[in-house]
Amino acid sequence: MPFNKLQAQIQKTLLNTDEEVTQRLHQVCVLLKETVSYYDWVGFYFANHESKTLHLKTYVGEETNHTVIPFGKGICGQVAVSNSNFVVPDVKAQDNYIACSISVKAEIVIPIIKNGKNIGQIDIDSKTADPFSSEDERFLEWICEKVASIL
């Protein structure tokens, strides 16, 4: 997996202060989707703790109606409550899954923690069954740490 090579590109993208933060996050989504063959939808959600909702900031992949997700609902909503990574090898086996596309088979969601608070998450859907490894998880945690540092 090209994660080592991607780290330098992602670091450079996130630190490019000539671009707005949302544009940098979008570029990270594009890099991930174009480089990792089984990353079919990549997006960043951010939390509104007052309304207890997640709001989609930017993404690449198939269009989605899930731009606002209540805490606790779906995989993303569960991560907003648990503050923990959630790797789903088979979305059909999850009772609390929000289907974005019938072709999605797996999902990984990693929280973005800043000053001890869950402020958002990266969400990745895959059309491949059980594609995510601990290497994906560590890499995405690293991205979330870098994202938190620019916010």
What is the structure's pLDDT at 57? Answer: 97
Give the tens place of pLDDT for each residue, 37-76: 999 999 999 999 999 999 999 999 999 889 999 999 989 9
Strand order in the sheet with 41-48: 68-70, 53-60, 41-48, 117-126, 106-114, 86-88
Predicted TM-score (pTM) above 0.75: yes
Question: What is the C-alpha to C-alpha distance for residues 144 and 114, in angstroms, rounded to an integer?
Answer: 9
Question: What is the C-alpha to C-alpha distance for residues 54 and 145, in angstroms, rounded to an integer?
Answer: 19
The answer, yes or no, to whether residue 1 has pLDDT greater than 60, is no
The answer, yes or no, to whether residue 96 has pLDDT greater than 70, is no
Question: What is the C-alpha to C-alpha distance for residues 15 and 18, in angstroms, rounded to an integer?
Answer: 9
| Structural domain boundaries, residue 106 | 3-150
Question: What is the C-alpha to C-alpha distance for residues 88 and 142, in angstroms, rounded to an integer?
Answer: 19
Domain count, the chain: 1
Question: What does pLDDT average to over the chain?
Answer: 92
For residue 28, what is the domain's CATH number?
A: 3.30.450.40
The better pLDDT of the pair 74, 94 is held by: 74
What is the structure's pLDDT at 95? Answer: 65
What is the structure's pLDDT at 47? Answer: 97
